[in-house]
Amino acid sequence: MLAMLELDAADHPTEQSKGFDSYVKSEFPKHGQKWEGCTHLYFPVCSRSHWYVFDVDIAKSMMFIYDPDKRCSTYDQIRADLKPMKTILPMLLKKINIVIDALAIERITTTSK
């Protein structure tokens, strides 16, 4: 288990691009689904030629990191890969009227490649 991912709204920009807004409003992609009622957000990440997935469980305020080969990424490397999430997640969640200050993080290595 990693520590908490702090999501401090004061550190985040207050303005987003129009493209970001249209994505969250489900105007893009053309057949997008509305974000209301969203329970999970999935973010695939490729870092250092290694793929893993972030699964944000909104109801539990948890982020699960599915990492099939823990030898490829250290905790420090994963923390570095999480930096963009500290900006993107609060902006996404704010658009669907959800505020989460921190996410507990669990790394799951018992998944298939």
Locate the domains of the chain by residue range: 2-108
Low-confidence residues of the chain: pLDDT under 50: 1
Model pLDDT, residue 92 = 77
User: If phi over 0 gives left and psi between -120 and 50 gives alpha, with beta otherwise, what is residue 61?
Assistant: left
Model pLDDT, residue 16 = 59
R_g of the chain, CA atoms, integer Å: 15
Q: CA-to-CA distance for 25 and 9, rounded, in angstroms?
A: 21
Q: CA-to-CA distance for 105 and 82, rounded, in angstroms?
A: 11
CATH (one of 3.30.300.30, 3.30.310.130, 3.40.50.300, 3.40.50.2000) for 2-108:
3.30.310.130
